[in-house]
Structure 1
Amino acid sequence: MAAQTSSSEATLGDEMTPPSLAEIHDMAGRDQTVTHITLRVLQAIPVPGNASRARFPVHVNPNDEWMMVIGERLIASTWQTFGSYLQDRTNLAKLRELSGTICINTRRILKEDHEDAPAWLESFSGPKLRWEAVGVMFLYAALGELYASSGADSRRLIGLPYWKFHAETTAMLIFSGFHVDRPFGPSNTSSKSMASAEARRRIVCQIFIADKFLATFVGRPALLTRRFCSIQLPLDLDDVALLSDKETFQRHLLRVDNDGWDMDGRLHPASVLRVRTMVALIRDEILEIGLSYVEDHSIDDIITLKGREFELYNTLPAHLIYDPALGELADADTQTFYSKHEMRLDHLLNVLLVERLLLKHGHPRTDLLRTSFEMVVLTLRLWTHKHRWAEIPGESQRLLIGYAAPAGAVLCMELVDPNPMDITVDGDLIAGEVYSRSSIIQQLSLLVGFLNAPDLSHPNSSVASGVRSVIKKVLDYVLNPTKRLQMPMGLEGFGFISDWDGFAQFGSLDNINWFSQDAGREDSSCL
């Protein structure tokens, strides 16, 4: 028996040996429940004609582009290899045989030390197809359906399903051990030259960024923290280089400096991913202080974090720094503008969070207000130029929820504060806009118009309605003197959860109760 087990394991470990017919039938008949599930999965395998990259808008999240290329190749190779099994989806015997083959392939050790990207892809596709690759194919097809669908519910940015999927993704990441970056080669340099390692790092970084975004949004503990992860930045390579042959890949590596940046000054999706991961790592420290119930930090720790955040952004390669004038140029590349715009907003959100912590220690809110003003201005810039930036679909909703809402809350609180800060500075420009109390009112008025946009999908529309209601109430109070006699002076009268002291306690980021079920109902009395 032991000899048989050893022989079986040896066979499974040898990826060059194709499974025998007896092994396939044995695997297919082991668990009838699992077999039934696998048959349903195989019957739904995406068809090359239906799952096409043509279904994706031009500027869908560029960080997903390399995954789309892999998904397309997997679907093509699967139908080329197993088309005779998949053509007749009612032939359960053939599908069981295919299921057994995939199960045996999946039990074999998947080597990740391929220095050649095509060889790496071949190790889990074609005759060596694994269930993980089947999952990638469905992910590719699902993304195509998501962006092609006009249904409002297909673009949810908040809600239990999103949180559930993120939690499951994080759990699978940790279970798979991907949260620890282990070099595959004899040295760290060797591991850097492998496409498989680069792909894994991109996936880990994207999940880490999403985790910090969600934790910040609701003021809840993160599921992934730097203390229990080994986050390595992917190299600043374009997607063509990542999935090219070994020689081409090595040539591109020569154009990357010692810090991992492209020396030719080109902006790639990986460039944005690197910057946002660096920002997310600092945000992890900020959230650890802000959400902790253990007072084991000092004011110096917070000031140090603020300095590190500014140093991070100011020392980025020059071609990654946001230029306010770029958005006004007729020949500005849309994706370049948006990418720099997003990186700047991510940086500013860290600054806003640090300033929020400093409030607790008695620091003035001067920098908090300036940062919030810039965040609102930058978020609105996409909307005010929507005739030119319309190629980037759906992103305005994420910017609204993640950046404009918390920054707008700060500005609203300042407008109704009985003891406002003196922010009048002649000629002071922030993101190309004059910084003054009247400018704050103008920007919030534009934000109300943005929130009236018809393309805000449900449930995001309910959030937008809540934000719009609060801002309108604040503007009505500020601009109509008669309203000041009818409305309370306290912040709670405008829908704020607490005053500035409570705001510094780092609960829900927005500090306005516009994410509750009742918040979406507009108060017509203030219109």
Structure 2
Amino acid sequence: MSSSPGLLSPTASSTLPRRRNGKPPSCEPCRRAKVSCDHTLPVCERCRRRKVVAKCVYLTAPMTRPVPDGRGRRLVLTPTMTAGSGEGGLDGAVVKGSERERESGSLSVREKERLSIDVSAAPRDLSHSTTGGLSVDAVSKPTPESGPFIKSGGFFGPTNFSAVFMENRENLGNDEIQISVDSDLHVPSYESLQSQTFLMLAGKQHCGSPRVALGIKVLNAMPDEHTCKFLLEWYFEKCHESSCPKHSVLALANSFWNSSFAGSFRKEPRVTDDLEHVSTLLCKNAESALQEFEDFDDWLASCSGQNFRWESLGSVYGALTTSILSLPERDAFFATQRGERRNRRDFAVEMKDCVQACITLSNYMDLINVPMVALLTKNFVLQTVLSGDASLVVWRQLGDLVSSSTALGLHRQIDTGRPPSYISETKKRLFTSIFCFDKGSALLTGRPPALSYRYTRFELPLDLSEEVLIQGGEVLQEAVAKLDENGWNQEGQIYSTTATRAHGMFSQVLNEVLELSLGDKDICTAENINYLMGRIQTIYNSLPSFYAFKLSDLGSPNCTDRMFWRRLCLRLIMLEHRLLLERLAHKEGFLSGQSMVDCAREMLELTVLLWVQRDRFTEHHHDYDWMLMCWGVPSSGVLIVELLKQVKAPHSTKLVLPRSEIVQNLSLLIGFLEWIKPAAGNYQLCGRMKLIIKKILDQILNPGPTPPLSSQGVTASSAMPSSQESRNASVNGLGGVGEFQNAGMGVGVNGSTVGFDNGSVGGGFEQQQQQVGFDNGGIDDGFDWLNNVDWSRGPWFDLGQDFSAARWS
């Protein structure tokens, strides 16, 4: 289906249909520039003066964008169809075209309503068809194979996930690669709860106020009790939560369904007056500040039951949204729902709408508290899944989240000497997660982070289970006493706090890595890079033994899928940070690049492992497109660039590239990219990368005739560096840490030998029997096909991002 904006067609009197507010519509250039349009047909005077006649079009729904799997429609018009000719004109053609497609059953009701043709553009854009008529292609969302791609909005710096391609554009056959900062935002036109929030003006009245009306919509969206129970059980058993303890969310949900007003939600249909009473109660509670209690029971009593707040309801909606997204797209659960809730994405967007509406309602009195910041964190995470991690709406929400956390003082946690409590550990866990998200977003986009370790004083949360935190008292103190001297549990369990604690340790180092990459070039020295590489390796080696990744654990009965997943993801995070430093050192000439290639090889190997073992990690499938962006694209980019260098100049490099292993993993990566669903936020990125990698593999695996080696003016022995040279290629004092050495060996996904079982990164690759040089016969075109790739559209993420979830920006 397609939901692209239709083009307005004037009536027989050559006038434009008016908008719902009674005013005539503006053309697109005037609307985007926010200037007055004279509404002249077929081209307004302003566009005529600015000589942008081709862009002067009037859209029926200019804020509408296509859905990810939209298909274009083609209408055939006869040459007699002209503007303003009634039944025989374009209006008639639109009606007849709609009737034909309605009879074929190929369009939904929404598509039928939006099907129309631009009359002003028709004389300029029509072309003769083979049937003697004139044809016009309706606007549709570009697929990865078609283009052109929608330009990205915003700046992308030197650490963004596609930077390796931009830095090596001379090797990719295009010297004019640049990151576009143009923005062509597309905002959904359909009705959302957020459209009501502009009415929320200050006032003392509750009943009948816009606030209560918005609250009624939010409350009415609550699924039935049976559905909530199923989703919350799935959330508790399968989903990872970093913003707040899952036990507290379940306690709030139980309080909601056991409260005195719960009967209002068990009625079918629900009565508006009952919902208005509940909305009024929650609005009144939101006007008072939430007191902090050290004990969980006291904290729960302050925001549940008759004290239930919008922040509490928002956390329940956040858990429901997470659960929906983690279910398989065709799970039988969705067949039990009604209407648009039978579609996973539509259901998730509706619940995400409610999360944002709860934030809006909670912000009415300009108060801030821990549940509110936790709700903002949850909202941010959900937005990354639905809109894509590099979207502008996500970046803005991150700014709001950081501002709220510092306003609450979470960035300055001073040791008061009190024993750990539920609220103190929740604050530590919450701000550590925010700090990690900030650094991850900065790394992904190449933009400066909003938080700096230089201006924060926060402690990592203790490695305690949620059950212990909830119980508190003596149970909590006994659990604290059993921790080791570094704050880790000694039971060998990986809790949610365990992962947050480990990620926080790496994020503090990543902050310094970003300073080298994004800051003053004078501090980017071999000594600083060597120091940070050592710190990353030291942190990884200092982790508890139960958190160490070993590929052999994949079939071990003592390692659950959840435990293996967390070990694998932490290993990839470490490699991601390491690869950034390796690229920086290679770019500055501090390292030969061999350790960078080895790091990228292991990173790519583990990334495709996520897909090969995808049946074990069903609840994480909605994060796979993000993982490809963070781990798959950078690692494959490094390897592709080096392969291209050797193809174009086989004997100009001494880097050891095991072609067989790399090609096998790139082939698996292609399958991974093809597997990503159109509803994913980074679907377009995956499609673009799939085409690039496939084309390069075709050139490498299907070369033409091989010229004599003697004609190259080099001997065979000179093409193969010795293993001693490959291991000792360190430059400027970066050996040992900069070049991987003496790592343990393991068996890779495709049977290759990789260093997974040791703390060091990517070392231990057997290089002696690998072929380095590539024959250049048949590839003398210099990869001219790369000139056909549209490099000017910014980084290779979903440049046609689906903002259908960004209703709240």
Normalising by structure 1, we get a TM-score of 0.78
Q: Which residue of 1 aligns with 2:690?
A: 468
| Equivalent in 136, 145, 148 of residue 324 of structure 2 | 145
Q: Does 1:489 align with 2:670?
A: no
2:622 and 2:272 map into 1 onto residues whose CA distance is 41
Confirm whether residue 41 of structure 1 aligns to residue 214 of structure 2: no
Kindly name which structure, 1 or 2, has the bigger radius of gyration based on alpha carbons: 2
Report the secondary structure of 2:261's partner residue: helix
Q: State how far apart, in whole Å, the 2-side matches of 1:73 and 1:517 are.
A: 41
Q: Which residue of 1 aligns with 2:257?
A: 79
Separation (CA, whole Å) in 2 of partners of 1:402 and 1:289: 19
Structure with greater proportional helix content:
1
Q: Which of these residues, 260, 271, 275, is aligned with residue 487 of structure 2? A: 260
- 1:194-238 Cα offsets, whole Å, 9 max, x none, are 112222322222232223222222222223333344332111112
Instruction: Assess, with a 3 A threshold, how the Cα gap between structure 1 residues 132 and 465 changes in structure 2: closer, same or farther.
Output: same
Identity within the alignment, %: 25
Q: Which amino acid in 2 is paired with 1:73? A: A
Cross-structure match for 1:174: 403
Is the Cα–Cα contact under 8 Å of residues 397 and 456 in structure 1 kept in the other structure? no
Give me the whole-angstrom Cα distance separating, in 2, the residues matched to 1:491 and 1:61.
47
> Paired residue for 2:305?
126
Q: Please give the residue correspondences for 1:67-466 in structure 2 after superposition, counting only pairs within 5 Å.
A: 67-83=245-261, 86-87=264-265, 89-92=270-273, 95-114=275-294, 116-148=295-327, 150=329, 151=343, 153=345, 156=385, 159=388, 163-165=392-394, 167-176=396-405, 177-178=407-408, 180-182=410-412, 187-190=415-418, 193-292=420-519, 295-329=522-556, 332-362=559-589, 363-390=591-618, 392-417=620-645, 418=649, 421-424=653-656, 436-453=658-675, 455=677, 457-466=679-688
Letter in 2 for 1:171: D
Aligned-partner residue type, residue 90 of structure 1:
V
- Name the CA distance, whole Å, in 2 between partners of 1:108 and 1:58: 30
Unmatched segments (≥5 aa) in structure 2: 1-202, 330-342, 349-381, 705-775, 802-809
> How much has 1:117 moved relative to structure 2?
1.7
Higher RCO (C-alpha under 8 Å, 6+ residues apart): 2
Kept after mapping to 1: 8 A contact 2:231/2:320: no
Q: CA deviation at 1:344?
A: 0.5
SS at match of 2:438: helix
Amino acid at match of 2:209: Q
Partner of 1:20: none
The whole-number CA distance in structure 2 between the counterparts of 1:495 and 1:377 is 29
Do the aligned partners of residues 228 and 262 (structure 1) sit closer, same or farther apart at CA in structure 2, a change above 3 Å counting? same
Question: Normalising by structure 2, what TM-score?
Answer: 0.52
Instruction: For residue 403 of structure 1, report the CA deviation from its aligned partner.
Output: 0.3
- AA at the equivalent of 2:663: I
Q: Equivalents in 2 of 1:411, 1:167: separation in Å? A: 33
Bigger Cα displacement from structure 2, 59-68 vs 476-485:
59-68
Distance 2:529 2:386 in 1: 30
C-alpha distance 515-296 of structure 1, shift in aligned 2 (>3 A): same
Give the Å deviation of 1:294.
Answer: 6.1
Give the drift of 1:70.
Answer: 2.2
What's 1:50 paired with?
Answer: 227
CA contact (8 A) 1:496 1:512 kept: no
Amino acid at match of 1:333: T
Cα distance in structure 1, aligned partners of 2:457 and 2:280: 36
Q: How many residues align?
A: 468
> Hey, what's the Cα distance between the residues in 1 that align with 2:642 and 2:452?
33
**Aligned residue number for residue 770 of structure 2:** none
Greater displacement, 149-158 / 280-289: 149-158
Deviations 1:86-142 (A, max 9, x none): 3475353x555544443443343423241x222222221112222221221221222
C-alpha contact (below 8 Å) 1:28/1:97 kept by paired residues: no
Change (3 A) 1:357 1:37: same
Which deviates further from its counterpart, 62-71 or 444-453? 62-71
Determine the C-alpha separation between the residues in 2 that align with 1:387 and 1:44: 32
What is the SS of the residue equivalent to 1:145? helix
**Are the aligned partners of 1:81 and 1:126 in contact in 2 as well (CA < 8 Å)?**
yes
Structure 1 range deviating more: 413-422 or 51-60: 51-60
